[in-house]
Structure 1
């Protein structure tokens, strides 16, 4: 381990100060102004008028805990990679920190000197301005992170991988499948939540179908399940990567459409998380950290999928792409 990896740099200290500062603002602002706030403060607006409230202590603790959980998750992901923090980490912390702090300030301002939370003013303009500032902060965080991003991957890794000799008269097929049990669990939990909301509405426990509850959970369950597993197959027709338990959707490349293929080790922190990810490295289907099959199409960005035995699959694909068909 190098000295640079042992000692936290300026970026790490800056992130620590930012995380601590946002946490302190979220937690302290309502408590510091509690003398000018009603016993319960408005925290949710249905249009111009408030329609939800919390005690002052909850309005202080709830957003602070959300921020702490998000920041901790980001730190854990970035520490699982040996390279400096990826650009998305700075962008996430910058955008979310500014937005949550601005929203907290808007909520406190709307409740100041009100006898009852139902008399709170509107937060629409404040939230809109906060969102614009947060987008700007996120963009700056992303740009700053990319300036410090190491050149990746190495020149050797970026080159085409090895190929293999195919005996005359033989046809070789390579197949590999990977799944993520945690994504399966998330799909199951969100699916159960959607079903429970629908059944509650059908039983009269909720007013109407409550699409605002059912739809997000159902959509999250379907999308998570669809990209919780992947199967990669190389044949004389090229590469096919099929997703989910039904093998749909799928992406396909003919051999002549692929410039090169290689095996490369990647982590969720490098590509921005789990599942189907878009980043500066192209598209990555990240189901587990480690070996990935990476293809460089003749047109478009690179595509990678985390599967076992990727080196053998890349070698066969390189043979086919080089115009040496199976006999």
Structure 2
């Protein structure tokens, strides 16, 4: 068997990236609001000016409260413009870079703003501000983690070239002629813009309540922060899906990291087909179970439907489902054929 792995690409790539700009826009607006709101919400408990720079453990620079609220906001707008430019002009060469810039920059500036508010809170003079040592370590670690995780979640692997075509329908459904001695991969992704936007807003709510509590502005915030964080992660995991067919079978991964994941081996698959479904038929959006079986419904229209040998049905709304079904049926037929 050859080492090369030709790819049977999805017929269109328009759906996977449609939600990105909306979620990024919500994130950018939310970070901007946090940067301005944090110091202004605490203005009655802050000195004016406030300490904004530390030499060692002691503050050695200050800004007026208004400048401290607006200066990081201006830097943030510059980072947003930079990320937009990278996406516009270098998006194909560095698909994960814009998201990494936004995520790391947003965490860095939000963390710095929260630390400044915390250090100056209830101080009579900016010279009396608390040390920033512990905050600096936490901010650096969180910034690096945010940038790395976002880059991993938003980078897009290459698609390669088509390696096979679809033949007439067989007993299992559409089938595909596989090149002798070569491995073939089919990959398709789908995302739901509204669920991604909801996940971004819930995440910003969790971050806002966490920062407000960490600065000392509020207390008893952890139940709300935890609830919002869980809802954000759950919604994010349900907002996108990736279906991948290889010689090992079908893998369906959820969320930006493709986890959690469901797997079907070729020997488990009785038949596969493409079928048009609506959210009403599936019982709503997201991960649904009803009389049709299990459906991952992120947009109405074409779905890849897999029926196991035990009669269980699973459907996922992805593009180019007919070709994915054809490849699965060919692999399943090969698994069912006794070796000579």
TM-score (norm 1): 0.48
> Does 1 or 2 have the higher relative contact order (CA < 8 Å, sep 6+)?
2
TM-score (norm 2): 0.46
